[in-house]
A and B are shown apart, each in its own frame.
Chain A
Amino acid sequence: MVHLSSLLLKNYHGGYVVIRLALAGHKQANRPFYRIVAAYNKRARDGKYLEQLGSYDPLPNIYNEKLVSFNFDRIKYWIGCGAHPTKPVAKLLGLAGFFPLHPMTITEAERRRAQTELIATEDVLQEGQKEAEV
């Protein structure tokens, strides 16, 4: 029997388009690589997408760079069509300078700085204690 639903509902989704990260290269464990993708909201994360708009490699390379690519022309088109970017994509675009900076990036940066200061003061305290003992 022919699946009537897929024939009739091919163009109707009742959802909206999102620009999100989809995991690629699924066969390799412990080596993530994301594709920046325009897809319907309800689709699987790694499933069929409308268009690939770029890539993001979260692991830094030998030059200590994380490579991100954006097809700005097509991103503008999809945002013009009413696509919503997700939080990580919005953060990346903010870092790139295309969007204004995402507030969470700033918050994370502040948190990291607080953490490093905490560790630094703990180290200083420990060294001070060691010297006092000696």
Chain B
Amino acid sequence: MLKGHRRLDDVTTNMAALGTARRLLRTCSRVKNVQRGEQRSVRCGLRTLCSGTRDHALSDNTRPQFTDPAVQDLLTRMTGLDLQKVFRPIKEELKPPTYKLMTDQQLEEAVELATQQAEKLLQMPPLLSERKPISDVLSVDKILDGMDTAKYVFTDITYNILHRERFIVVREPDGTLRKASWEERDRLVQVYFPKEGRKLTAPLIFKEGNLKMVFSQDRHEDVLDLCLVQFEPDSSDYIRVHAATYEDLDKHGKYELLRSTRHFGGMTWYLLGARRADGLIVDMLKRDLLQDAVSLVSLFHMVHPHSESAQEAASQQAAGADLLKIYADKESQKSGYIELALQAYEQLTTKKSSAE
């Protein structure tokens, strides 16, 4: 009975968080504390999965994309669904928790609802290649040279157009009429169609030195959330901040920080692209997540089908722990550790089966 009550409390606090966080919030307030010390919860724009028709400039047609359903499936499985972490209390104004009396069936339904909500919260943000700079000149009017000391920026405020297709042009003092650059576009769209949580000038936290300080405080997730709100997914700043975060995580082996969040898939994809997934595999094996390690290796084979381990695995039709052994032999630098961990896992499983 006691166990039931404890679960009840957890779930009801989760439901309270759910109820208050009907709008899909994220903790940008934590990062604001770094900057200003104010406690405000800010709505982050939730970016939905982009449809599979986008194509990357970097990868070929045969290479699996981030948005492939198979890839996404593997990544979601690896992200895990720790309800406790997803619904941990966000810093908001203090409200006393609400308690509900439920039957077991109602409790199950509530947990199901919470899982669905968590899945929505764990949707991965889109991954795009860097955008090319705009350098379109619409007209050159030398007669207007010297007409004014300042530029004129003209924005089209029509309501029903996408921000990407909006006309934003700049008339320079020397008379040239050109299209606005990406940074100007972002800034002006924010001026006329403000998005909650986005600032006109990027917060100082995204500078190199400040990023290091924040990483030393283990706040990678907050940085990534703030970056998601502030920058467009194909801007150079977004890619730079994400790359810096993933590098830092890889260097210190702090994968657990992102485990049940929406950024885990992005991190895995980045590490796979850079062929540096060893640290991650080691971390998974440490935490006894063999399935995740296996799915990671299979994803690696999907992404790099021409590598030695992929070809070995395809020829042997390996599955499960054998995949890991092949990967450890062929590809990884920390093969010793992976083999040790595999042996330990096998010993555990044999012990369990013999005990049963």
Contact = CB atoms under 8 A, between A and B. Distances in A.
Say whether A associates with B. yes
Interface of A: 54, 60, 63-74, 92, 95-97, 101, 105-106, 108-110, 112-113, 116
B146 A68 contact: no
A11 B146 CA distance: 46
B152 A68 contact: yes
Given A72-B167, A97-B139, 7 more contacts: A65-B150, A69-B157, A71-B156, A96-B154, A101-B144, A106-B143, A106-B144
Contact of A113 (B146, B150, B157, B158): B146
- Ranked 5 nearest A-B pairs via Cβ: A60-B150, A109-B147, A96-B154, A73-B158, A71-B157
Contacts of B147: 105, 108-109, 112
Contacts of B167: 72
A67 B155 contact: yes
B169 A69 contact: no
Given A69-B192, A96-B169, A105 B144 contact: yes
A64 B144 CA distance: 18
B152 A66 contact: yes
Contacts of A97: 138-139, 154, 169, 177
A66 B73 CA distance: 49
A72 B158 contact: yes
A67 B170 CA distance: 10
Interface residues of B, number: 30
A61 B326 CA distance: 61
A108 B150 CA distance: 15
Interface of B: 138-139, 141, 143-160, 167, 169-171, 175, 177, 188, 191-192
A96 B157 contact: no
Contacts of A92: 152, 154
B145 A109 contact: yes
Nearest to B170: A65
Contact of A65 (B144, B152, B158, B175): B152
Nearest to A101: B141
A71 B193 CA distance: 13
B151 A65 contact: yes
A97 B167 CA distance: 11
Given A65-B150, A95-B152, A97-B177, A70 B157 contact: yes
B52 to A, nearest CB: 33
A70 B155 contact: yes
A73 B143 CA distance: 29
Nearest to B160: A73
A97 B152 CA distance: 12
B150 A70 contact: no
A113 B154 contact: no
B146 A112 contact: yes
16 contacts: A60-B151, A64-B151, A65-B150, A65-B153, A66-B153, A69-B155, A69-B156, A70-B154, A72-B156, A73-B160, A74-B158, A95-B177, A96-B154, A97-B138, A97-B169, A108-B147
B153 A71 contact: no
Contacts of B159: 71
A99 B148 CA distance: 19
Contacts of B158: 71-74
B156 A66 contact: no
A68 B171 CA distance: 11
Given A65-B170, A67-B191, A101-B141, A95 B154 contact: yes
A69 B157 CA distance: 6
Contacts of A67: 153, 155, 188, 191
Nearest to B139: A97
Contacts of B171: 95-96
A34 to B, nearest CB: 13
Contacts of B151: 60, 63-66
Nearest to A68: B154
A13 to B, nearest CB: 27
A28 B106 CA distance: 59
Nearest to B161: A73
